[in-house]
Amino acid sequence: MNDHPLHLDVRNDGLALLTIHGSGTGNALGGSFWDGLRDTMQDLGTRRDVRTIAVTGAGSAFSVGMDLRWYIVRLRRAMRSQATGFMEEDVRRLQNAIDTVADCPKPVIALVNGECTGAALELISACDIRYATGEAFFALPEVQLGVVADLGGLQRLPQLINQGHLRELAFSGRALNAERAARIGLVNEVFPDATALLQAAENFNTTVSRHPEHVLEGIKQNLDDVHRTALTRGLDHAVRWNSHHIQTPELANAMATRLHQATATAHRAPAAGPSV
């Protein structure tokens, strides 16, 4: 496991490059990632030397989503202790971490190369702009585990893609490629490789750095405020629905099965990874 799930590089041009290493293969998002994301985004939002934030993944993937190895341990521990409200408290902590991305006063760009599924897709839905390479692919595989995606994807994605595409994505759990993601509006633009992806972020940062910082912050606040009440209500509904309808032994077993399947198919063609 990686002891440093995030790496931050604040450059002289004002671009802050935040790279996800996660807690395992495919930049999986384990416990330390979520606290690190929250603290880092809150800090970057106050820094005068930062104009734009770009979030990307290390290596050939953005992120396979939630680290199921980490979460299965937490679920089984909660079952043994018969802790009430475990899932609701835990999910709200993760929701709050993603909220810090959406609430950051700086423009936030997701740079997606390779897999971006489950919690990772919900994370990039909180960014202002999404750029991808042709190797990127996206999925919401939560339905395959018998859970409702509850970290904000179902609430934020309707602002990016239409209901038909979103429902197909959420009901099926199937992956879609970068070309279709661009066609339906999930990503702004597709680039040939990771180098071009970073160049696009640099070009955007150069452009916005010419504009007053407080004006950019005001634009973002005005765009977000009209959706805030519905977003909060939707996040609350998702976490309560899962808390009331999911039996933790069943979920832990489904996660364990998914991990086993992912290990068996690790070297095959892209599919939704061992994650949610």
DSSP code of 29?
A: B
Q: Which amino acid is at 31?
A: G
Percent helix, strand, coil in the chain (nearest 5)?
A: 55, 15, 35
Look at the block and give the residue holding tokens 């504009």.
211
Flag whether the pTM goes above 0.85. Answer: yes
Lowest mean pLDDT among 48-52, 55-59, 78-82, 148-152: 78-82
Q: Which amino acid is at 262?
A: A
- The whole-number pLDDT of residue 105 equals 97
Distances (CA, A) of 9 to 55, 70, 162, 193, 257: 11, 27, 35, 20, 37
Distance of alpha carbon 102 from alpha carbon 231, whole angstroms: 11
Residue 94 has pLDDT above 80, yes or no: yes
DSSP annotation string for 133-187:
ETT-EEE-GGGGGT----SSHHHHGGGTS-HHHHHHHHHH---EEHHHHHHTTSS
Average pLDDT over residues 58-85: 83
- The whole-number pLDDT of residue 257 equals 79
Beta bridge partners of 29: 66
Sign of the torsion angle spanned by Cα atoms 211, 213, 216, 218: negative
Distance of alpha carbon 262 from alpha carbon 7, whole angstroms: 26
Report the candidate in 168, 207, 208, 210 with the shortest Cα–Cα distance to residue 186.
168
Confidence of residue 70 (pLDDT cuts 50, 70, 90): confident
Chain centre distance of CA 204: 21
pLDDT of 236-249, one tens digit each?
A: 999 888 877 776 67
Confidence of residue 25 (pLDDT cuts 50, 70, 90): confident
Lowest mean pLDDT among 7-16, 74-83, 214-223: 74-83
- The whole-number pLDDT of residue 77 equals 77
Average pLDDT over residues 98-108: 98
- The whole-number pLDDT of residue 263 equals 56
Lowest mean pLDDT among 68-82, 106-120, 122-136, 166-180: 68-82
Residue 276 has pLDDT above 60, yes or no: no
Contact between 161 and 182 (Cβ < 8 Å): no
Across the chain, mean pLDDT equals 90
Tokens of 169: 């994505």
pLDDT of 167-218, one tens digit each?
A: 999 999 999 999 999 999 999 999 999 999 999 999 999 999 999 999 999 9
